[in-house]
Amino acid sequence: MAERGAAQSSASSGESLLFLTDEQLRRGIEAMFFAYRGFTADPDRILENYAYGRAHHRAIHFINRSPGTTVNNLLAILGVTKQSLNRVLRTLVEDGLVESRVGTRDKRERHLYLTDQGIALERELSEAQRTRMRAAYRAAGPDAVAGFRTVLEQMMDPELRHHYFSNTEGGA
Amino acid sequence: MAERGAAQSSASSGESLLFLTDEQLRRGIEAMFFAYRGFTADPDRILENYAYGRAHHRAIHFINRSPGTTVNNLLAILGVTKQSLNRVLRTLVEDGLVESRVGTRDKRERHLYLTDQGIALERELSEAQRTRMRAAYRAAGPDAVAGFRTVLEQMMDPELRHHYFSNTEGGA
DNA sequence: CTTGGAAAGTCAACAAGGCTGACATAAAGT
DNA sequence: ACTTTATGTCAGCCTTGTTGACTTTCCAAG
């Protein structure tokens, strides 16, 4: 499936065996833009009620996914500066949604956990997001979903892909 | 709430009839997050050289896509306030990348066009983005690409979907 | 034990790009 | 004539990103 031709610009070659025309690619690009907006719309609406933003959502999501993760881990996943993350984390700790425990093995590290309140907000946010995703998956069908995931994973930076999608494929 | 138990958390049944487990959905959600970051990474790097941001990129993209579009059209597509868009548009006009022509039929409207310089930057940006998209498409294969597009379109807000993807399916 | 350096936190300043509100102008519609 | 629409602009605010400088804590190597 790799030898899909050279995908040259626009209509230079009439080969319609190609599906990688600039027009097709442009549609994919716009689809990403609009879909991402839809994807974040529901959580954004909820977050307004709590005076939080997307940055808080991301922190909550990944702490929920990996309870006990360290600040440095989170930094690597989120790809922001520690100052930026710290600002978000501080408010979440102050508000009692996240607990920061000093490490036992290495006391410099802080291990992050959601409190019951944090878990509640995570549920609310992810449930909204899953609902939309579920609807899209249902409407598109299983084959489309597989393709969706495949392309998305190929679109990420390779390092990240290996890190997060190499050993998680066992399930299902 | 709404114990999504219906979705049989994790891999309870080997039957792949079900593909809507919370775990599957979570993976899709994270894939969207990471893929979007990859998707914007290349243009972002280029934009730094010009002291522009994503907002400029979006304006340039949609003006290129629909030359002569009005400010109001752009506002509707981008989903931002006119003040926000105006700030971006002003710098692009000042810098000679976008031309704003008073409408002939309705002189209140401004019709937007990319200048040669604007076209050049658009090419640079979209070429970078297409390159990544093309690579992902090639690695994933045609069937995956179809599924990718289908799911993304389902994930957008319905109104937008109808507006932008109903009559553009003719090609290919 | 001392010291180097990593991990974490903090303060300050700044920028992009969202937002609201208020207001101005020209042109179109009624 | 009056209202509405399209656009532009000023001012101010917020979130979330950035850099730089600095401190505290603490593991580990000398």
Contact A11, B133 (CB under 8 A): no
Tell me what the pLDDT averaged over chain A comes to.
85
Residue of A nearest to B131 (CA): A25
Q: Do A130 and B171 touch (CB under 8 A)?
A: no
Residue of A nearest to B43 (CA): A29
Cα separation, A74 vs A62, in Å, equals 7
CA distance A147 to chain B (A): 3
pLDDT, residue A137, reads 94
How many contacts, defined by CB atoms under 8 Å, are there between A and B? Answer: 221
Domain assignment present for B49: yes
Q: Residue A41 is part of which domain span?
A: 22-155
Tell me what the pLDDT averaged over chain B comes to.
86
Residue ranges in chain B assigned as alpha helix (H): 22-48, 54-65, 71-78, 82-94, 116-140, 142-155, 158-165
Domain assignment present for A170: no
Contact B87, B71 (CB under 8 A): no
pLDDT, residue A91, reads 93
pLDDT, residue A107, reads 83
CA distances from residue B167 to A8, A165, B161, B162, B171 in whole angstroms, order as listed: 25, 36, 10, 8, 10
Domain assignment present for B90: yes
Domain assignment present for A167: no
Q: What would you report as the CA-atom Rg of chain B, rounded to the nearest whole angstrom?
A: 20
Nearest alpha-carbon partner for A1 in B133, B80, B127, B139: B139
Q: Give the single-character DSSP code of A85.
A: H
Residue B166 reports pLDDT greater than 70: no
Contact A19, B172 (CB under 8 A): yes
Give residue B163's pLDDT band: very low, low, confident or very high (50, 70, 90).
confident
Query: pLDDT below 70 — which residues of chain A?
Result: 1-19, 164-172
Checking ipTM against 0.90, whether it exceeds it is no
Q: What is the pLDDT of residues B41-85, one digit of tens each?
A: 999 999 999 999 999 999 999 999 999 999 999 999 999 999 999
Contact A126, B132 (CB under 8 A): no
Cα separation, A156 vs B81, in Å, equals 30
Which residues of chain A does B26 touch, with a Cβ-Cβ cutoff of 8 Å? 65, 126, 130
CA distance A107 to chain B (A): 30
Domain assignment present for A6: no
In whole angstroms, D2 C1' to B97 CA is 39
Contact A19, A4 (CB under 8 A): yes
Residue A76 contacts B, CB cutoff 8 Å: no
Which CATH number fits the domain that encloses residue B40? 1.10.10.10
Q: What is the pLDDT of residues A101-140, one digit of tens each?
A: 988 888 888 999 999 999 999 999 999 999 999 999 999 9
Strands B110-114 and B69-70, how do they pair? antiparallel
Contact A135, B154 (CB under 8 A): yes
Domain assignment present for A26: yes
CA distances from residue B64 to A107, B68, B123 in whole angstroms, order as listed: 54, 9, 10
Residue B131 reports pLDDT greater than 60: yes
Cα separation, B130 vs B8, in Å, equals 38
Domain assignment present for A165: no
Domain assignment present for A169: no
Say which residue, B162 or B144, is predicted with more confidence: B144
Is A90 within 7 A of strand C by CB distance? yes
Task: Tell me how many domains chain A contains.
Answer: 1
